[in-house]
Amino acid sequence: MDELDRILAVSRKVGLNWTGVTDIGKKRTKQIMRDVPAYDVEIALASAIENLQRPITPNDIRDMQSYVSAIPYSDVLVGEKLFINLAVQAGLGKRYGSHLHTSIYSLEQYL
């Protein structure tokens, strides 16, 4: 089951008669993607990766999935420079209240 199927299934449970994306509407679809943290982070990071001046690798996709899960639910996150920088540029740390760092030594301030 993909994300759209999940959204449509939930909508039916709450009494909405949505059968496809056209029933949801463009504005509401964008709002759903923005309101669900995992979708929001994935969209932001995927867009940022696509804008890089290099080919996307399978490892990029695997790495991105780790950050999609971690950024919205972590108070402090240390990660590799590429994804932390992309997340910072997209404003994800501020949006989710997550302190994003590229050095393990930056954790000293939290001890």
Alpha-carbon distance of 55 to 61, in angstroms, equals 12
Instruction: Assess contact for 84 and 100: CB atoms under 8 A.
Output: yes
- What H or E segment, with its residue span, contains residue 106? none
SS3 18: coil
Q: Can you give the residue ranges of every domain in the chain? A: 1-35, 37-111
Instruction: Report the pLDDT value the prediction gives residue 98, as an integer from 0 to 100.
Output: 96
Model pTM score: 0.79
* Per-residue pLDDT tens listing for the chain (111 residues): 477 787 788 888 888 888 776 777 888 878 888 888 998 999 999 999 999 988 989 999 999 999 999 999 999 999 999 999 999 999 999 999 999 999 999 999 988
pLDDT for the residue numbered 22: 78
Which two structure tokens, joined as six digits, stand for 65? Answer: 């999935």
CB contact at 8 A, 48 and 54: no
